[in-house]
């Protein structure tokens, strides 16, 4: 028997769970992404969506996606490195950089590709990538592709982080990478304390704001802005697939870092550009986030109501303090 097929055929857990009627994944939705969706012909409440501001069905965003497709076509027919950069990519990059308070921003095709490409390319063989043990899978995969030494600290534990930093050679680069809001736990990274330790041990910081942008800050600028540490964080990552109601991702940083990433991140150089419709939609979503800050207050009102309700019902929802 083929060895690969023999190995893969032994993985039957999904089938076992399906037979028991408790397999929870890949449930097809046959309606718009909204507070209620249709699954298997039934209307159910949606508590798993990342559309924090409820913009996925906004008419202005739909029209912006359509208009971008009308003007530029359906695909870029190349990577950003070659013929796949459009003026709408560059215009949105400038707006995103200003939005999160950095010099420049680079748009990738997905948020996963941002972390994959950026984390893997910034540091060298003798340098250090330092991760929170609960960091997102995309950060973990980026670390796996790097030749740097990897160190982990206990989740949101600053004593553990300092112990790790003390083991590093002082003359080597140390990049601390954390989620601003952790996607599974729903808690927030203690960024002011991380900044303090980074300064003490001459380390750099990258923050994944996938679940922070659109949620924290007056207009949804993210956790870094809300906690007042934007200037002390070297790289801010964001996605379009959540509050921006689209698909794609970006990294925001200073000009020198952007120049390096632009020419070294393989998931940026060797991947097709984000589509015109995705860029048009994200650009329109940013307009709405800037002009309708009341959406963020409404999000937090609903979040508080839901969290209190779940806890009163006796549901185990962990220690989340966010919409997750």
Tell me the catalytic residues: 183, 211, 242
Tell me the C-alpha distance between 158 and 289, whole Å: 33
Picking from 249, 235, 272, 261, the residue whose alpha carbon sits closest to that of residue 121 is 261
Tell me the C-alpha distance between 236 and 212, whole Å: 11
Tell me the C-alpha distance between 93 and 252, whole Å: 9
Burial (CB < 10 A; 0-12, 13-18, 19+), residue 152, is middle
DSSP H/E element including 303: helix 294-312
- Residues 291-323 as b/e (b if ≥16 CB within 10 A, e otherwise) read eeeebbeebeeebeeebeeeeeeeeeeeebebb
204: three-class secondary structure by DSSP: strand
Picking from 148, 115, 151, the residue whose alpha carbon sits closest to that of residue 132 is 151
275 sits in the region (left: phi over 0; alpha: psi -120 to 50; else beta) called beta
- Residues 252-266 as b/e (b if ≥16 CB within 10 A, e otherwise) read bbeeebbeebeeebe
Tell me the C-alpha distance between 113 and 247, whole Å: 11
DSSP-assigned states of every residue in 240-302: SSSTTSSS-EEEEE-HHHHHHHHHH-HHHHSSBPPPHHHHHHHHHHHHHHHH-THHHHHHHHH
Is residue 220 within 8 A of residue 240, CB to CB? The reply is no
């Amino acid at each position: 028997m083929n060895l690969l097929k023999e190995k893969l055929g032994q993985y039957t857990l999904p089938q076992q769970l399906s037979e028991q009627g408790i397999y929870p994944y890949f449930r097809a939705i046959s309606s718009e992404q909204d507070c209620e969706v249709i699954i298997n012909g039934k209307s159910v409440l949606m508590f798993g969506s990342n559309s924090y501001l409820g913009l996925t069905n906004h008419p202005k965003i739909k029209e912006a996606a359509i208009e971008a497709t009308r003007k530029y076509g359906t695909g870029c027919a190349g990577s950003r490195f070659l013929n796949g950069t459009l003026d709408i990519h560059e215009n949105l990059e400038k707006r995103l950089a200003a939005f999160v308070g950095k010099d420049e921003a680079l748009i990738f095709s997905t948020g996963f590709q941002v972390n994959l490409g950026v984390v893997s390319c910034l540091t060298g063989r003798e340098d250090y990538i330092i991760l929170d043990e609960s960091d997102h899978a995309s950060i973990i995969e980026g670390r796996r592709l790097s030749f740097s030494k990897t160190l982990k600290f206990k989740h949101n534990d600053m004593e553990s982080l300092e112990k790790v930093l003390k083991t590093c050679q002082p003359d080597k680069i140390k990049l601390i990478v954390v989620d601003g809001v952790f996607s599974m736990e729903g808690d927030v990274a203690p960024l002011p304390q991380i900044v303090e330790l980074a300064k003490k041990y001459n380390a750099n910081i990258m923050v994944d704001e996938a679940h922070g942008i659109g949620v924290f800050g007056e207009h949804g600028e993210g956790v870094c802005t809300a906690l007042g540490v934007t200037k002390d964080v070297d790289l801010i990552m964001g996605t379009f697939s959540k509050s921006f109601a689209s698909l794609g991702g970006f990294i925001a940083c200073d000009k020198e870092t952007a120049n390096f990433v632009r020419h070294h991140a393989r998931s940026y150089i060797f991947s097709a550009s984000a589509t015109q419709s995705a860029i048009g939609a994200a650009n329109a979503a940013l307009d709405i986030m800037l002009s309708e800050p009341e959406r963020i207050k409404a999000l937090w009102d609903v979040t508080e109501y839901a969290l209190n309700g779940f806890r009163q019902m006796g549901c185990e929802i962990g220690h989340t303090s966010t919409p997750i």
